[in-house]
Every structure is written in C-alpha cells, then in structure tokens.
Amino acid sequence: MTERPRAGRVLSAVAFLVLGGGTVMLLPDDRPAPASAAASPSPADIGFAQDMVVHHQQAVTMAQAVRGRTSPQVAQLALSIELNQTREIGHMQGWLALWRAPQVPSGPPMTWMRDGHHGHGNGEMPGMASQQEIASLGEATGRRLDIRFLELMIRHHEGAIPMAAAAVARAAVPHVRATATLMISDQRKETAVMTGLLAALRGSPPGNGRG
C-alpha cells in the first residue's frame, strides 16, 4: 500500500469534522462578538492573550516554512492552521489594545499560570519548537518533511491546550473563556487529523509515495 492512498483515506475519514469537505477549516461565524472582550481583564486574561499570540505566531511560521513543499494533504492542513491562528492572533491583539495592555509581557512567559495547579507555570511555554527544529523544516524534503512538520505541529498543539484550559478556568472576561474553549476544540480536531496522517506516513515504506 503506498503512502498517498493511506494518507488520503485518513484525511477523508475526518474531513467532515475538520476540513469542511475539502475546504480549509475557518473559525465558525457564531463565535462570541469581540466587543465583549472589553470587560475588565484579570492578569490571566492579559497573560493568556500575550503568551498565546507568541505561541500562535510560531505555528504560523512553521506553516509558512513548508508552504508549497509538502504533500497535498499536509499542505491543506498547514494552510488551515495558518489561517485560523492568524485570525486568532488578530483577535487577541485586539483584546490587548482594548484593555490598554502591552502586546508582549514585561517578564518571562507563563507567569500568569505560576500560582495555579495547571503546570507549565515555570516560565517555559509548552510545545514550542527550538530554532534548530524550525530550521529542520527548511532542510527536509518529501516524505521526511511531511513527517517532521506533523511531529512538530502535533507537539505545538498539545502544548497550547493546557494554556487554553488554564484560561478557561481562570480568565475573568467571558469572551476570553469562550474563545479559549473553542481553541481547545479546534486544536484537538486538527491534532486528530495530524495524528492520523502521521501514522499513515510512518507506516509507508520510504520508497513509496513522495520519498
């Protein structure tokens, strides 16, 4: 069995959940109105927005790094991630502007989680790729590029979920909690697609498909 049919079947099996029958996944139109984010924020609201902008920006960078170089299935998923997370970055930067808060934290990241029980409150942002790992996306080709991108992006998404879960539990602004909840759902769906594609690619002999 070649790589392309296996990966294609995996994507098709979940397309109705994530990719909308072949189109990239966009944020639903019924999300809470951004104006509700003007309510008085807590340190958790501000810290979550600041840190998640940075986290999302790296995901966008990784998606852009593989543009035009991956298999069609991975390319479609990477485009979906780029569009969704670019849009969410705009929302979060808008919140910070409404709150008259700095766009970037003045100290180490993740301090807004430090006094809770969610972990990761140690100044390290979970799931982030190193500069060397991002550079590896520029060096890899073919099937190895697909696999490396999926590995890094799965880890990146899995790191974002506890950040969003902490915002759901601790944010004061209802819109921030609602957006964080939807972010968890979106990233879990994308992770499911990527996990299936990665399993199909790893199960294909290196000589098949894209090499």
Q: Cα separation of 37 and 22, whole Å?
A: 33
CA distance 25 to 201: 22
Q: Which domains does the chain have, with CATH numbers?
A: 37-195 (1.20.1260.10)
Query: Is pLDDT above 70 for 180?
Result: yes
Query: What's the pLDDT band for 117 if we cut at 50, 70, 90?
Result: very low
**How high is the pLDDT of residue 37?**
61
Say which residue, 64 or 203, is predicted with more confidence. 64
Question: DSSP string spanning 136-156?
Answer: HHHH--HHHHHHHHHHHHHHH
Contact (CB, 8 A) for 137 and 149: yes
The percent of the chain in helix, strand and coil, each rounded to the nearest 5, is: 65, 0, 35
* Residue 165 token pair: 């879960």
Give the pLDDT mean for 10-32: 42
What residues contact 23, with CB distance under 8 A and at least 6 apart?
none
CA-closest candidate to residue 78, choices 96, 58, 62, 89: 62
* Alpha-carbon span 19 to 30, nearest angstrom: 17
What is the Cα–Cα distance from 166 to 74, expressed in whole angstroms?
A: 30
Of residues 196 and 203, the one with the higher pLDDT is: 196
- Whether residue 166 is predicted with pLDDT greater than 80 in this model: the reply is yes
Whole-number pLDDT of residue 36:
58
The dihedral sign for the CA sequence 150, 156, 176, 180? positive
What pLDDT is recorded for position 20? Answer: 42
What is the mean predicted confidence (pLDDT) over 75-93? 96
What distance in Å separates the CA atoms of residue 89 and residue 85, rounded to the nearest whole number? 6
**Model confidence pLDDT, tens digit, residues 47-58:** 999 999 999 999
If pLDDT is split at 50, 70 and 90, which confidence band does 203 have?
Answer: confident
Please tell me the least confidently modeled range out of 8-22, 112-126, 160-174.
Answer: 8-22
pLDDT of residue 176 exceeding 60, the answer is yes
Spatial separation of the C-alpha atoms in residues 57 and 63, rounded to whole Å: 10
Residue 115 pLDDT: 57
**pTM of the full structure:** 0.79
Give the count of beta carbons closer than 10 Å to the beta carbon of residue 139: 9
